[in-house]
Amino acid sequence: MIDAKLLEVLVCPVSKGPLKYNRKTDELWCAQSGLAYAIEDDIPIMLSDEARELTAQERKSLAECWRHADER
């Protein structure tokens, strides 16, 4: 789990876009860059070389998540 205040200030180092926390994978996901950043021992690893690319299904899930957030 990541602290909500930390999540508010963190951005993707590649796109400078916002991040969404994924509880299932314990990662921070960026829709703009399509990258997932691991969280190890409660510390986000914000290195693009360490990030993995989101799958097509994950990108779709993230887009739906942002869309629902915009509707609120």
Query: What domains sit in the chain, N to C, each tagged with a CATH number?
Result: 4-71 (2.20.25.10)
Eight-state DSSP code of residue 47 = -
Rg (CA), the chain: 11
| pLDDT confidence of residue 24 | 93
Cβ neighbour number for residue 46 with a 10 Å cutoff: 17
Give me the mean pLDDT over the 55-65 stretch: 91
Reply yes or no on whether the pLDDT at 65 is more than 90: no
* Contact call for residues 34 and 19 (beta carbons, < 8 A): no
The answer to pTM > 0.85 is yes
